[in-house]
Amino acid sequence: MFTGIIEAMGEIAELQPRSGDFRLRIRSGKLDLGDVQLGDSIAVNGVCLTAVGLPGDGFLADVSRETLSLTTLGALKTGDPVNLEKALTLASRLGGHLVSGHVDGLGSVIERHDDARSVRFTIEAPAELARYIAHKGSITVDGTSLTVNAVNGRRFDLNIVPHTLQETIIGGYVSGRRVNLEVDLLARYLERLLLGDAAAQAGAGQVDHALLLRAGFTGD
């Protein structure tokens, strides 16, 4: 588990092809790896990866074909910056929100414009994720815990303050860029709970108006 508070920006040092997938060598920058051991989890652009090597200036991580196809990691190139966060511990401060490091889908940056000292972004999410994105709710974009400022269908707005622009890869976003999205875990679990016994059935659908009525939500 993670918090979505980026600890450092790293850099892709090498992409090593390995029988159809990849091993990444990542320079960790200012991220303190003193307490990291082989097998520990580190989020890279919001994707939970396992450290399989610690060469001294960073770490090595294997990336499966599925992860390469379902996240932006498959488009990385040598020299690209990446957001890094070590897995939280019971002593960690939860400054963002609970993040699993399992990407739910890919979004696209639609628009970027200045808003005083901040920058405002419009992101378009996949249609199947839209129902989990709420005004003033939390969402993870490339591993960064952010607050949704507005929602319009599949699109949502983010207001990014100067510190976040400087300390994460968000400062380099341009229109058309693809980003990793992870919706709020609580929203997913709530939907599953509302399905009740139907959740155990193959092909169980999503929460709809009829299901809410059966659960006692009258809409009055």
Q: pLDDT tens, 167-203?
A: 999 999 999 999 999 998 888 778 778 776 666 676 6
83 closest CA partner among 37, 33, 28: 28
Residue 49 has pLDDT above 90, yes or no: yes
**Mean pLDDT for the chain?**
90
Report the distance separating Cα 106 and Cα 123, nearest Å: 10
Question: With 50 as the cut, is the pLDDT of residue 153 above it?
Answer: yes
What amino acid is encoded at 27 in this protein? R
What global pTM score does this model have?
0.87
For the ranges 96-110, 121-135, 192-206, the lowest mean pLDDT is seen at: 192-206
Average pLDDT over residues 89-115: 90
Percent over 90 (pLDDT), the chain = 76
Average pLDDT of the residues in 63-83: 96
β-strands 47-53, 105-115: how paired? unpaired
CA atoms within 13 A on the CB side of 117: 5
pLDDT at 138: 94
What's the average model confidence in pLDDT over 204-217? 54
Q: Name the residue among 39, 35, 14 with its Cα closest to residue 26.
A: 14
83 pLDDT more than 50? yes
Residue 45 has pLDDT above 90, yes or no: yes
- Ordered by where they begin, the domains of the chain are 8-86 (2.40.30.20), 105-186 (2.40.30.20)
Check pLDDT > 50 for residue 209.
no
Query: How large is the average pLDDT for residues 152-157?
Result: 97
Residue 205 has a pLDDT of: 58
- Among 105, 103, 106, 100, which Cα is nearest to 41's? 100
The reported pLDDT for the residue numbered 78 is 97
What are the structure tokens assigned to 40, written together? 């520990």
> Which of the four pLDDT bands, split at 50, 70 and 90, describes residue 13?
very high
Pairing of strands 8-18, 21-27: antiparallel
